[in-house]
Amino acid sequence: MEFKVNSRELEKLLSKVIPAVPTRTPMPILENFLFEIKDGLLTVYASDMEISLRSSISVVSEENEKYVVPAKLLYDIVRSLKDTTIHFKFTTSGKINIVTDFGKYTLNYIEGVNYPDIPKFEIDKDANEISINGNELKTAFDKSSFAMSKEEMRPAMMGTLFEFSNNGLRFVTTDGHRLVNLLYKNIKSISNNQYVVPEKAISVLSKILDDKDVTIRMNKSSMSFKLNDIELITRLISQKYPDYASVIPLENELTLKVNTKEILDSIKRMMLFSTNTTKRVKFSISQKELDIFAEDVDTGASGEEKVSCEFSGDNLEIGFNCAYVQDVLSHLTSEEEIIFKLHSATKAVIIEPVEKKENSDIMMLLMPVRLNS
């Protein structure tokens, strides 16, 4: 069995698929690509059993076969070659002979039948399909993925919630300390449903999405993202997502308006002074001035800064984890001004842009921490 392919084209193909190859895995066979040659089309698959990626190119070949090929070594060879024709020959003794004008290389392959059943997408009666611009989807991930939980105790929170409703498509992430709630109003789906997409799918998609449209298909157990020339399929997290709406406070009547860059710069400096273990920072809010204070109990260093603000209430003191404040604010830097909606020193705080957008709503939630005063 043999075929020929251009080195630059094969490099492009492999670079798309290799993000799904796991670096550490209890199943070493997943460190390989599956090469499927069928009717003059080479399809390359990679998977870590949670997500799978596949992409195809035309090759000159008349046979139909499947081979399991070392992923990293092959990718490293192909991308180190100049623009040339590569001639692949799979021998019956388990060797791949790769020949170019100036070199020949030999690798081992494994028969295709040994490759495991990787995530596939099957259309069933619950299947659903939408289309979304790739950049828009990437923006949603960029703004929300930081708040996914790393705690394995609650698997659903380790993913991103996709919620389809009459309002549009909503993305929710939370780790219990902060929450991101982003709604795209112009994405409508025929049915209302919730899907929890694992972190690995989100991070790989973030790398490969571009300004082209993406077709998302989903059923009860899996989701497919079809880009121009590549398809990512992911298993869904089966655990139900927590009821995020119930933790969003409704009575936060106090508003604190600040310039986003100004408060973020200040928070970044306060990070230097907050105690490493607690990262606590204190906001002392008055009508025109927000005073931010942090103290490192280990080194005795402390810092205090004043940020101008507009506050609708009387004086209020509230504590936060400085790192969480920085996370939230650094994902709102596209907004010039933001509003903190508060109720008291112990209630969750809502953070929103001052200027509303027509097609999307973004809202973040931050839990305060107790001040030892």
* Residues near a copy of itself (CB under 8 A): 70, 73, 76-77, 80-82, 102-108, 265-266, 268-269, 272-273, 299-307
Q: Is 361 helix (H, G, I), strand (E, B) or coil?
A: strand
CB of 24: closest distance to a copy of itself in angstroms?
Answer: 18
State which amino acid sits at residue 23: T
CB of 267: closest distance to a copy of itself in angstroms?
Answer: 11
Are 46 and 84 spatial neighbours (Cβ–Cβ below 8 Å)? no
- Closer by beta carbon to a copy of itself, 89 or else 235: 89
- Closer by beta carbon to a copy of itself, 174 or else 266: 266
Beta-bridge mates of residue 118: none
CB of 226: closest distance to a copy of itself in angstroms?
Answer: 33
- Closer by beta carbon to a copy of itself, 72 or else 226: 72
Residue among 294, 296, 279, 291 nearest 177 (CA): 279
CB of 337: closest distance to a copy of itself in angstroms?
Answer: 18
HSE-CB of 150 using CA atoms within 13 angstroms = 1
- Closer by beta carbon to a copy of itself, 71 or else 367: 71
Are 55 and 16 spatial neighbours (Cβ–Cβ below 8 Å)? yes
- Closer by beta carbon to a copy of itself, 303 or else 313: 303
- Closer by beta carbon to a copy of itself, 82 or else 207: 82
Residues 6 or more apart whose Cβ sits within 8 Å of residue 309: 256, 257, 258, 285, 288, 289, 290
CA-based torsion, 181, 187, 193, 195: positive or negative? negative
CB of 82: closest distance to a copy of itself in angstroms?
Answer: 8
CB of 299: closest distance to a copy of itself in angstroms?
Answer: 7
CA-based torsion, 179, 185, 187, 191: positive or negative? positive
- Closer by beta carbon to a copy of itself, 74 or else 364: 74
Compute, in degrees rounded to 10, the torsion defined by CA atoms 254, 256, 257, 261: -150
Distance between CA atoms of 48 and 46, rounded to whole angstroms? Answer: 7
Q: How far is CA 167 from the centre of its chain?
A: 23
CB of 95: closest distance to a copy of itself in angstroms?
Answer: 8
User: Can you give the C-alpha Rg of the chain in angstroms?
Assistant: 25
Q: Is 176 helix (H, G, I), strand (E, B) or coil?
A: coil
